[in-house]
Amino acid sequence: MNDRTVLISGASIAGPALAYWLHRYGFDVTVVERSPALRPGGHAVDVRGVARDVVERMGIMPRVRQDSVDERGAALVDRNGRRTATMSVEAFGGEGIVAEIEIMRGDLSRILYDATRDDVEYLFGDRIVRLGQNEAGVDVDFASGAARRFDLVVGADGVHSGVRGLAFGPDSDYVRHLGAYTAYFTVPDPGDLDSWFLMYNAPGGRVAMLRPERGGTAKASLGFTSPPLDYDRRDVRYQQRILADRLADAGWRVPGLLAAMPDAPDFYFDAICQVRVDRWWRGRVALVGDAGYCGSPLVGLGTSMSLVGAYVLAGELASSPDDHEAAFARYQDEMRDYVAAAMELPPGGINGYAPHSRLMISLRALSMRMMTRWPMRQLLARQFQKSDAIVLRDYAAQHQPRHAGA
């Protein structure tokens, strides 16, 4: 019997992307999202390497390019705002710190949602609270009280995936804290960024970033190194107090960013962590994107991995709709090397992101100045080439998909 009905948990990047491809291959798709509406916010995310091909094949590249962020490059600044190192977008042919296609996470999520909303059932403001699977399907109970049966369920619900918690085990088995926390939020455009992404390091492993976006606003990020903290993930005010305590005297533009933080409409705070899951499925339940493999913002490939993962998972399910276990196994086989390469932390790991001492901060600026020169250039180019470490199959040609939007 064919597995035709699929429930996806999470409507950010991986969820709508998977919904898009499954619908094209003839599946009936429902997406449940815990938030009452599509979540805005997040910094620019990169669409690198083969992920660009996936976006092309979805037919949404014109809109992605239209909405992408016009950044000239990234610059490290000191306490007084003086640039200590820069890297332009062209330095690595659009595959450097700032990729050729950078788009705000919220904008990409909106584009993927718009491409699927007419063909896919979206349930906002709800979540799965129980999964019971047997040979015939998966019985799902929702927090709203609804109960439904699906052939397959996929967790695309991020680092703290609810589906993973129900079908695989607790976060503590899969989520590895890398030693820092970070927040993202929107602030008024200071007007002097001149299309540069500014990054600042203060002693004590403290980080601030500010990058331009369209429409009179900019995206701020604040971070600090710390062992795991005990806090309520829903208590935004408390998270903001933690940040204010740690960063109040950090210098540069940080006091202004902290002052603007309570008014931000899209404050997001989390540990910098990786997710590693041995096998990405249990029976009829599978994982895609950050829920199954998250390299952390340090590797900058989370969105690309999600887009590619959604493409491969849907393609493999279409290849054997009567044998989901075989499809899930091929999905992981296809993705394994690409994900393993993408999960490797850049040289220096968390210390590269949040150096502690003044000496290490100066060395970070020095190494960024050296990046475009030999031999650092070769090392860095290798790091960015990971985004190409998979050859995409042409599933659409094999499966006579429905036309997009059909």
310 contacts ligand FAD (rule: CB under 6 A): no
Least spacing, CB of residue 105 vs ligand FAD, in Å: 5
Distance CA 254, CA 81 (A): 11
3-state secondary structure of 367: helix
306 contacts ligand FAD (rule: CB under 6 A): yes
Distance CA 140, CA 126 (A): 12
Least spacing, CB of residue 229 vs ligand FAD, in Å: 19
Determine the size of the site formed for ligand FAD (CB under 6 A).
31
Q: Whose Cβ is closer to ligand FAD: residue 303's or residue 383's?
A: 303
184 contacts ligand FAD (rule: CB under 6 A): yes
365 contacts ligand FAD (rule: CB under 6 A): no
Least spacing, CB of residue 96 vs ligand FAD, in Å: 16
Q: Which residues partner with 175 through β-bridges? A: 275
Q: Whose Cβ is closer to ligand FAD: residue 14's or residue 342's?
A: 14
Q: What are the angstrom distances between the C-alpha of 381 and each of 3, 10, 29, 72, 371? A: 42, 33, 39, 19, 9
Binding mask 109-148 for ligand FAD (x = CB under 6 A): ------------------x---------------------
Per CB under 6 A, the list member of 156, 318, 343, 365 interacting with ligand FAD is: 156
Q: Whose Cβ is closer to ligand FAD: residue 14's or residue 89's?
A: 14
Distance CA 321, CA 75 (A): 49
Q: What are the angstrom distances between the C-alpha of 313 and each of 19, 320, 383? A: 11, 11, 25
Least spacing, CB of residue 398 vs ligand FAD, in Å: 26
Which stretch in 94-102, 275-283, 300-308, 340-348 sits in contact with ligand FAD by CB under 6 A? Answer: 300-308
162 contacts ligand FAD (rule: CB under 6 A): yes
Which stretch in 152-160, 199-207, 224-232, 278-286 sits in contact with ligand FAD by CB under 6 A? Answer: 152-160
Question: Which of the 8 DSSP states describes residue 29?
Answer: E
Distance CA 136, CA 280 (A): 20
Distance CA 52, CA 58 (A): 10
Q: Is the dihedral angle over the CA atoms 230, 232, 238, 239 positive or is it negative?
A: positive
104: nearest Cα among 8, 184, 204, 1: 184
Q: Whose Cβ is closer to ligand FAD: residue 84's or residue 274's?
A: 274
Distance CA 221, CA 260 (A): 12
Least spacing, CB of residue 400 vs ligand FAD, in Å: 28
Distance of CA 86 to the CA centre of its chain: 25
Least spacing, CB of residue 192 vs ligand FAD, in Å: 22
151 contacts ligand FAD (rule: CB under 6 A): no
Distance CA 216, CA 188 (A): 6
Distance CA 255, CA 157 (A): 33
Q: Which residues partner with 131 through β-bridges? A: 140
Per CB under 6 A, the list member of 5, 12, 133, 186 interacting with ligand FAD is: 12
The dihedral region occupied by 270, where left means phi > 0, alpha psi between -120 and 50, and beta the remainder, is beta
Distance CA 194, CA 272 (A): 29
Per CB under 6 A, the list member of 29, 42, 275, 383 interacting with ligand FAD is: 42
- The residue with tokens 């590797």 is 299
Which stretch in 10-18, 63-71, 248-256, 351-359 sits in contact with ligand FAD by CB under 6 A? Answer: 10-18
Per CB under 6 A, the list member of 95, 290, 316, 334 interacting with ligand FAD is: 290
71 contacts ligand FAD (rule: CB under 6 A): no
Least spacing, CB of residue 1 vs ligand FAD, in Å: 27
Question: Which of the 8 DSSP states describes residue 92?
Answer: G
Least spacing, CB of residue 363 vs ligand FAD, in Å: 24
Per CB under 6 A, the list member of 205, 297, 321, 401 interacting with ligand FAD is: 297
Per CB under 6 A, the list member of 181, 185, 252, 268 interacting with ligand FAD is: 268
Count of residues in the chain: 406
Q: Which residues partner with 68 through β-bridges? A: none
Task: Return the biggest CA–CA distance within the chain.
Answer: 66
Given strand 73-77, what is the order of strands in its sheet?
Answer: 83-88, 73-77, 196-202, 206-212, 217-225, 175-188, 268-276, 293-294
30 contacts ligand FAD (rule: CB under 6 A): no
Least spacing, CB of residue 171 vs ligand FAD, in Å: 11
Least spacing, CB of residue 240 vs ligand FAD, in Å: 15
Binding site for ligand FAD (CB under 6 A): 9-15, 32-35, 39, 41-43, 45, 105, 127, 156-158, 162, 184, 268, 289-291, 297, 302-303, 306
